[in-house]
Amino acid sequence: MTGLAWAVPLLPLLAFVVQLLLRTKGTKKLVSFIGVGLTFLSFVFAVYLIAQSFIWNHNIPTWQINWLHIGSKVVTVGASFAPLQVLMLFIVSFVSCLVQIYSIGYMKADERSNTFFAYLSLFTFSMLGLVIAPNFLELYFFWELVGVCSFLLVGFYFYKESAKQAAKKAFIVTRIGDVGLFIAICLLFWKVGSFDFSIIQEAVKTNQISAGMITLIAILIFAGAAGKSGQFPLHTWLPDAMEGPTPVSALIHAATMVAAGVFLVAETFWLFEASSTALTVVSYIGAFTALFAALIALTQTDIKRVLAYSTVSQLGYMMLGLGSLGLTAGLFHLFTHAFFKALLFLVVGAVIVAFSNEQDIRKMGGLGKEQKWLGITFLIGGLSISGIPPFSGFFSKDEIFAAVYQSGKYDLFAAALLTAFCTAFYIFRLYFLVFTGRGAVGQTKTFSWYYQVPIWVLAVFPVISGFVQFPKPILGQWLKSSESGTLWWIALLAAFVALLGIFLAYAVYQKQWISASSLMKYSGFGYRLSYRKFYVDECYQALFVWSLKGLGWVLMGWDRFIIGGIARFIKSLPYELGTIGSYVQNGQVQRYLLISVFGFLLLLLTITAGRLIF
C-alpha cells in the first residue's frame, strides 16, 4: 500500500492533463469536479501516509531510480517520505483540496475558470513534487515549476495592468533568490559530486566541505528560500501578488508555496546547523522581516494587503524559529499557519464578495450582523494568529519564543514579542473595522455551500491543531528533533502581549476611546513610513529600476550613435564618392574640358616647381 505513495503527487498531474484537454470542450462543473475529486483522492493517500508514519510509526521506503550518467556520476530521481515530507504532503493536499472546492463557488462567473482549475492542479502537483524531492536537482525543478504556477495564477486577470505587473514582479523578484539557490546547488555538486540530500548530509557530517564553504552555501540556499518565502529584502512581490484571485492568495501566497522557502531551510537544516553564521543570518533576517512586515500591516487599508504583510511577518517568525535552532518550532508554526492563514484568506474572499468586490476596509463595516458565520470563522483565525490560547497559533508561536529565548538572543526575543503585539493589533483592527460598527452592506447575500464547507472545515483546525504538540510534543518526537519544551512564563507573557494588542484595537476601533485619526497624527512620520511600506518599493525603483534604465539608455545611445554612426558612415562612403563622380561626369563637354585644363595647369605647376626645386 505504501507503494501507492507516488499517487499523491501524480493524481493532481493527471487532473491537470485531463483539465487541459477538456479546457474548451468540458463544462465548468466537470472540469472543476475532476480537479477537486483527484486532489481529494490525493489527500486520502496523504492521510494514509500520515497514519502509516505518524500513528503506526512505519518507515515508508524511499523510492529512487538512476536517471542520468555523467561520467562516473549518477543523477537520480525519486521520492522520499520522511515525516517532514509526509507532513507537508498532508498540508498541501488538504489546503489545496479545500481551496479548489471554494474556487468552484468563487470562480463561478469567470469564463476562464477551466484554465484556472488546470493551473491549480498543476500547482498542487508541483508543490507535492517539490516536497518529496530527495535531491537538489529534482527540488530545483519543482521549485521553478511552482514559480511558474505562481506567475500564471497571479497574472490570471492579465487584462488588468496591475495584475500583469504583479505577475512579472513575482516572477522576477523570486528569480533573484533562485539564482542564489542555483549557485548553492552548483557549489554542492562541485564539492560533493552529488545532488542527493543524504549523500551531502554525510559529506557535511564528515567534514568534507570547509566551514567557510558551508556558510556560503547555506546563505545562498537561504537566499532562495527568502525569495520564495518573501523575506526581507525580497518580500516586495508577495503583497503585490494579491492581484490574483483570492483562492490563489489563500493557496499559494499564504498556505503552501510561500512555505516552500521555510520547508527548504528545514529540509537542509543539517547544513545550517553546521554553520552558526548562517543560523544567525537566518534568525536576524527572520526577526527583522517579522517585525518590519507587521509594522507595515498596521496601517494598510486594502484588506488583502494586510493579510499579505501578515503572511510575510509569520514567515519571518518561522525563519526566526529555524534560525534559533527550533526546527520543530518553525515547522509547527508552518503547520498551524497554513490552516489559519488559509482560513483567513477564504473568509476575506467571502467578505470581498459580500461587499461587492470592495477591498478597502475603510468602506466596510457591520458585516458581523449579516454574516454571522463569517464573523465567527474570522474570529477563530484572528485569535489563532494573535496567539490566544487554546488556539493553535498560541502553541506554535510559544515554541518559537522559547527557542529564541533559549538561543540567548534577547534582542530577537524582544522583536518577536513586539511583532506578536502588532499582529494582534492589526488582525483585530481588521475584525473591528469589517465585522462590527455601522453596516455598509445593504443587501444580504447568501453563500453557497462551496463557500461554507471549506471555511468551516478550515475553522476546525486552528482550534485543534495546536494539540499535536501540547501537552505532549508528539509532533517534535515524530520529526525526530530533540528540543526542550516551553517555559510557562514565556507562554503567559506572549498571551498577555497578544491580549494587549487586541485590547488596543478594541479601544481604538470599537469603543473609539482613542480616535484612529489622532493616533495617526501622533505617530506622524512613523505612520507615513508604515503606510508607504517603508518606501522599499520606491528605493528599489530608484536603486535598481532607474539605474538599470539609465544604463540601458547609455547603452542604447552607444549603439545608436557610435556603432550605428560607424555603420552609417561605412554605408554612405561609397555613396558619397559615387555622387562626386557622377557630378564630374555629367556628359557636358565643357566640364570635361575645364577639368582637363585644370589637369594641364597642375602638370605645368608641378613641372615648374620640380624645375625650381631640383
Partner 1 sequence: MYLTSYLALAAILFCIGLYGVLSKRNAVMLLFSVELMLNAVNLNLVAFSRLGLFPNIDGQIFTFFTITVAAAEAAVGLAILISLYRKKETAEADQYNSLKG
Give the x/- contact pattern for partner 1 in 341-380, rule: CB under 8 A: ----------------------------------------
At 530, list the grid cell. 508604515
Per CB under 8 A, 414 contacts partner 1? no
Of 584 and 594, CB closest to partner 1: 594
Q: Contact at 8 Å (CB) between 72 and 112?
A: no
DSSP per-residue letters across 459-494: HHHHHHGGGGSSSS-HHHHHTT-------HHHHHHH
Cβ-based neighbours of 264, under 8 Å, separated by 6 or more: 139, 143, 181, 221, 224, 225, 228
Of 464 and 597, CB closest to partner 1: 597
Cα distances from 45 to residues 4, 12, 35, 52, 532, in angstroms, run: 8, 12, 15, 10, 45
Of 593 and 603, CB closest to partner 1: 593
In angstroms, what is the C-alpha Rg of the chain? Answer: 31
Q: How far is the CB of 585 from partner 1 (least distance, A)?
A: 10
Cα distances from 133 to residues 139, 337, 437, 555, 597, in angstroms, run: 5, 23, 50, 43, 91
Cα distances from 230 to residues 217, 487, 521, in angstroms, run: 19, 30, 30
Dihedral over Cα of 603, 605, 608, 610: its sign:
negative
Cα distance between residue 412 and residue 422, in whole Å: 15
Of 484 and 579, CB closest to partner 1: 579
For residue 390, is the peptide bond before it cis, meaning its omega torsion is within 30 degrees of 0?
Answer: yes
Of 555 and 601, CB closest to partner 1: 601
Of 517 and 590, CB closest to partner 1: 590
Cα distance between residue 107 and residue 114, in whole Å: 9
Count of positions on this chain that bind partner 1 (CB under 8 A): 7
Cα distances from 291 to residues 196, 215, 286, 324, 495, in angstroms, run: 36, 25, 9, 16, 17
Cβ-based neighbours of 510, under 8 Å, separated by 6 or more: 432, 436, 437
For 436-557, where are the alpha helices, taking DSSP H only? 449-464, 474-478, 488-505, 516-523, 525-531, 536-540, 547-557
Q: How far is the CB of 593 from partner 1 (least distance, A)?
A: 6
Q: How far is the CB of 589 from partner 1 (least distance, A)?
A: 8
Q: How far is the CB of 587 from partner 1 (least distance, A)?
A: 4
Of 589 and 613, CB closest to partner 1: 589
Q: How far is the CB of 594 from partner 1 (least distance, A)?
A: 5
Of 555 and 593, CB closest to partner 1: 593
Cα distance between residue 411 and residue 287, in whole Å: 9
The amino acid occupying position 544 is F
Q: How far is the CB of 582 from partner 1 (least distance, A)?
A: 12
Of 4 and 602, CB closest to partner 1: 602
Q: How far is the CB of 588 from partner 1 (least distance, A)?
A: 6
Other CB atoms within 10 Å distance of the CB of residue 559: 11
Q: How far is the CB of 612 from partner 1 (least distance, A)?
A: 20
Give the x/- contact pattern for partner 1 in 501-540, rule: CB under 8 A: ----------------------------------------
Dihedral over Cα of 177, 166, 420, 257: its sign:
negative
Q: How far is the CB of 584 from partner 1 (least distance, A)?
A: 14
Q: Contact at 8 Å (CB) between 264 and 140?
A: no
User: Which residue, among 214, 272, 13, 38, has the nearest Cα to 132 in the 3D structure?
Assistant: 13
Of 593 and 609, CB closest to partner 1: 593
Q: How far is the CB of 546 from partner 1 (least distance, A)?
A: 60
Q: How far is the CB of 555 from partner 1 (least distance, A)?
A: 48
Of 567 and 603, CB closest to partner 1: 603
Strands, E assignment, 36-72:
63-70
At 110, list the grid cell. 469567470
Backbone angles phi, psi at 256, to 5 degrees: -115, -65
Give the x/- contact pattern for partner 1 in 572-601, rule: CB under 8 A: ---------------xxxx--xx--x----
Of 524 and 587, CB closest to partner 1: 587
Of 554 and 597, CB closest to partner 1: 597
Q: Which of residues 71-90 bind partner 1 (CB under 8 A)?
A: none
Q: Can you count the helices (H) and strands (E) in the chain?
A: 28, 2
Residue numbers at the binding site for partner 1 (CB under 8 A): 587-590, 593-594, 597
